[in-house]
Amino acid sequence: MYRENYINSLRLEMVEMVREYLSPAALKYGYADVALESTIKWRPLVLVVGNYSSGKSTLINEFLGADIQAVGQAPTDDSFTILTYDDEAGEADPVRTTEKRDGKFLLNDPDYPFEILKKHGHRFASHFRLKKVNSQFLRNLALIDTPGMLDSVTERDRGYDYQDVIGDMAQLADLVLVLFDPHKAGTVREAHTSLRETISARTFEDRVLFVLNRIDECASLSDLLQVYGTLCWNLSQITGRKDIPPIHLTYSSRAAGNADSFHPDTRGFLYHLQNQRKKLKEGILDAPRRRLDNLASFIETHSERLDQLLEAMVAYRTRLRDFRIKLGLIGGLLCLICGGAAVLAGISVGIFGGFTDPIAVSAGIGALLLFLFLWRVGPMGFFVRVCHNRSLKNIDRLIPLETQTRRDTWQVIRPVVLRYLEKTGGRFPLKTVKNEYNRVHRIYAEGAREVRKALNELAGIKPDQSVFDGLSSPIRDEAIPPEPETENPEAAETADCLSQKQS
Ligand SMILES: Nc1nc2c(ncn2[C@@H]2O[C@H](COP(=O)(O)OP(=O)(O)O)[C@@H](O)[C@H]2O)c(=O)[nH]1
Ligand SMILES: [Mg+2]
């Protein structure tokens, strides 16, 4: 429980950090259209994608401990379903759906992070829903069950862009499970491409878990190896990498039993891969910890960008202020000369009696003030505009960009800086922007480091065993094959190899 509480309070603190320090500046300077925390404030999310009939809903039901999602060989369910915990439901009750919400409600409720999915239109909204389930599995995370990939002809009939939706959901998710099955090992290329495009290359490996499901349907170990090889090949083609990402080899013993698909010869290798289901479950239950990693990266990335953005604003305003001071001094000097010249001219033509004549002094001061006013509205305004335009033209010289990291960050925020300076004409108070810069800089320089320190501390805290043990599913493993009496050493060795590769 200690670790769970630690994770939860750390998550809330990090969201608060974003809300209090980063969001205000992000909204004010047009870096973000909606508050930064709107996509991260909800619970950790696990997205489950794959072909239809790859066993997504079966897997989810098994972990929830009840038949919550419809399952079937044909494309049964064409909806995106958020499965989340019902805090109000009694824990002793049998696991069931306690409440349902439709897509329109979800997309418009600011308590949920799904506003960014609104753009996918009404057809998507009618295929989007939420179920509250009183399953302990969902206590610290929410799952998203998705309709499977279909062939391209049917794709067009969906009425919304499936790939785009998957991409947006993957951005919200802390963990993405990509399911394959032996019949279609490698045909989720499209889903994979949209994931690749939306999840940054740096975090892709941490965020995506590949699962080869329904392995009980492989007639033998060599059949499984063939499927595994095909999948590896397809994955390496899709990712463009030679090293194969870890793949969980698993199956639903309950569905396998129902489907009556156990070939007696297959029991040997299945026995050695039984732990994979448990490992997968543990991997999913680790989503809250993954959320912390993602939040840490989120804070690092956005605080770095906002820090540079505000640095540029301060640099611009300081430059303008210095230029104004210079212009003011020149103007003051010119006005003094002009005022003095006016008095001298007055004396020389005999209008004023002399330098001590009070009328001459007042006339001199009046002339000085008039020249000052004319200077400010005329030449000074003109020179300030010239300085502003020159700053915009040479925007890349506003702040030092000595490292590649700073240059990369600058490329992202440059248009934001330009837009804001053009919109305001450079008229914003230097003091305010300096204060904002100091606040964001504290997060960038110290906050992000503190967060990493807390995460390192967390790594030293042992997982709460109760989290995993207390979640034994009421859907029993009816068809788990018994350990083969005479173990085939070759098969065992190969299965071990596969398992080891994944750990
Ligand atoms: N043999 C076997 N059948 C499975 C397994 N997982 C799911 N199924 C069956 O495959 C069909 C499709 O499952 P479903 O969960 O609806 O797939 P989804 O479309 O990906 O959600 C159902 O008839 C399940 O009973 C498995 O591990 N082994
Ligand atoms: Mg399904």
Query: pLDDT tens across 338-361, in order?
Result: 778 877 887 787 777 676 777 777
* Length in residues, the chain: 503
Domain ranges of the chain: 42-285+473-502, 302-458
148 CB near ligand 1 (under 6 Å):
yes
From residue 81, alpha-carbon distances to 137, 172, 304 in Å are 16, 14, 35
pLDDT at residue 42, rounded to an integer: 93
Nearest CA to ligand 1 atom 4: 255
255 CB near ligand 1 (under 6 Å):
yes
Confidence of residue 170 (pLDDT cuts 50, 70, 90): confident
The lowest-confidence range among 105-119, 140-154, 400-414, 471-485 is 471-485
265 pLDDT exceeds 90? no
Q: Are 309 and 432 in contact (CB under 8 A)?
A: no
| 178 CA from centroid of ligand 2 (Å) | 13
251 pLDDT exceeds 80? yes
| 258 CA from centroid of ligand 1 (Å) | 10
Q: How many CA atoms does the CB half-sphere of 469 hold within 13 Å?
A: 5
Q: Which atom of ligand 1 is nearest to the CA of 217?
A: 1
486 CB near ligand 1 (under 6 Å):
no
Q: Identify the CA nearest to 56 among candidates 75, 84, 32.
A: 75
Mean pLDDT calculated for residue range 92-110: 88
From residue 485, alpha-carbon distances to 51, 138, 232, 489 in Å are 36, 38, 32, 12
Q: Which atom of ligand 1 is nearest to the CA of 259?
A: 1
Confidence of residue 258 (pLDDT cuts 50, 70, 90): low
Q: Answer with the residue of higher pLDDT: 184 or 316.
A: 316
Q: Tens of pLDDT along 402-456? A: 999 999 999 999 999 999 999 998 889 999 999 999 999 999 998 888 888 888 8
477 pLDDT exceeds 80? no
From residue 89, alpha-carbon distances to 93, 132, 311 in Å are 8, 9, 50
| 459 CA from centroid of ligand 2 (Å) | 35
47 pLDDT exceeds 70? yes
Q: Answer with the residue of higher pLDDT: 68 or 184.
A: 68
Give the percent of the chain with pLDDT over 70: 81
User: What is the strand order of the sheet 208-212 is part of?
Assistant: 97-102, 128-133, 80-85, 142-145, 45-50, 175-180, 208-212, 247-249
DSSP alpha helices (H): ranges in 185-286? 189-198, 201-207, 221-239, 253-258, 267-272, 275-285
pLDDT at residue 363, rounded to an integer: 78
Architecture of domain 42-285+473-502: 3-Layer(aba) Sandwich (3.40)
Q: Answer with the residue of higher pLDDT: 442 or 271.
A: 442
Residue 11, SS3?
helix
- 194 forms beta bridges with none
Q: Are 285 and 468 in contact (CB under 8 A)?
A: yes
Q: Which long-range contacts (CB under 8 A, 24 or more apart) does 360-369 make?
A: 364/339, 364/340, 365/339, 367/338, 367/339, 367/342, 367/343, 368/335, 368/336, 368/338, 368/339
124 CB near ligand 1 (under 6 Å):
no
Confidence of residue 257 (pLDDT cuts 50, 70, 90): confident
314 pLDDT exceeds 50? yes
Give Cα 459 to chain centroid, integer Å: 22
Confidence of residue 364 (pLDDT cuts 50, 70, 90): confident
285 pLDDT exceeds 80? yes
Say which residues have a Cβ less than 8 Å from residue 367's Cβ, sequence separation at least 6.
338, 339, 342, 343
| 140 CA from centroid of ligand 1 (Å) | 26
C-alpha–C-alpha distance, residues 199 and 494, integer Å: 33
Q: Answer with the residue of higher pLDDT: 249 or 342.
A: 249
The lowest-confidence range among 120-129, 197-206, 273-282, 351-360 is 197-206
73 CB near ligand 1 (under 6 Å):
yes
Say which residues have a Cβ less than 8 Å from residue 38's Cβ, sequence separation at least 6.
110, 113, 115
Q: Tokens 């630690």 label which residue?
A: 6
| 194 CA from centroid of ligand 1 (Å) | 24
Say which residues have a Cβ less than 8 Å from residue 183's Cβ, sequence separation at least 6.
214, 217
Report the chain's mean pLDDT, rounded to a whole number: 82
Most confident among 260-274, 338-352, 377-391 (mean pLDDT): 377-391
Mean pLDDT calculated for residue range 234-254: 79
Q: Identify the CA nearest to 461 among candidates 17, 64, 83, 3.
A: 3
Q: Answer with the residue of higher pLDDT: 153 or 190.
A: 190
C-alpha–C-alpha distance, residues 170 and 186, integer Å: 19
From residue 338, alpha-carbon distances to 347, 348, 361, 375 in Å are 14, 15, 13, 11
| 162 CA from centroid of ligand 1 (Å) | 21
pLDDT at residue 195, rounded to an integer: 67
57 CB near ligand 1 (under 6 Å):
yes
pLDDT at residue 323, rounded to an integer: 86
Confidence of residue 481 (pLDDT cuts 50, 70, 90): low
Tokens of 274: 């039984």
Mean pLDDT calculated for residue range 52-67: 91
200 pLDDT exceeds 50? yes
pLDDT at residue 202, rounded to an integer: 56
Give the percent of the chain with pLDDT over 90: 34
Give Cα 355 to chain centroid, integer Å: 73
Task: Tell the burial category of 175 from Cβ atoms under 10 Å away from its Cβ (0-12, 13-18, 19+).
Answer: buried
- 145 forms beta bridges with 48, 81
Residue 20, SS3?
helix
pLDDT at residue 478, rounded to an integer: 47
7 CB near ligand 1 (under 6 Å):
no
Q: Identify the CA nearest to 162 among candidates 50, 274, 60, 271.
A: 50
Confidence of residue 113 (pLDDT cuts 50, 70, 90): very high
Q: H helices then E strands: how many in the chain?
A: 21, 8
71 CB near ligand 1 (under 6 Å):
yes
Q: Name the phi and psi angles at 483, rounded to 5.
A: -65, 130
193 CB near ligand 1 (under 6 Å):
no
Mean pLDDT calculated for residue range 211-224: 87
Question: Mutual orientation of helices 448-459 and 2-17 as an angle, nearest 10°?
Answer: 170
214 CB near ligand 1 (under 6 Å):
yes
383 pLDDT exceeds 90? no
Q: Which atom of ligand 1 is nearest to the CA of 58?
A: 15
C-alpha–C-alpha distance, residues 130 and 170, integer Å: 17
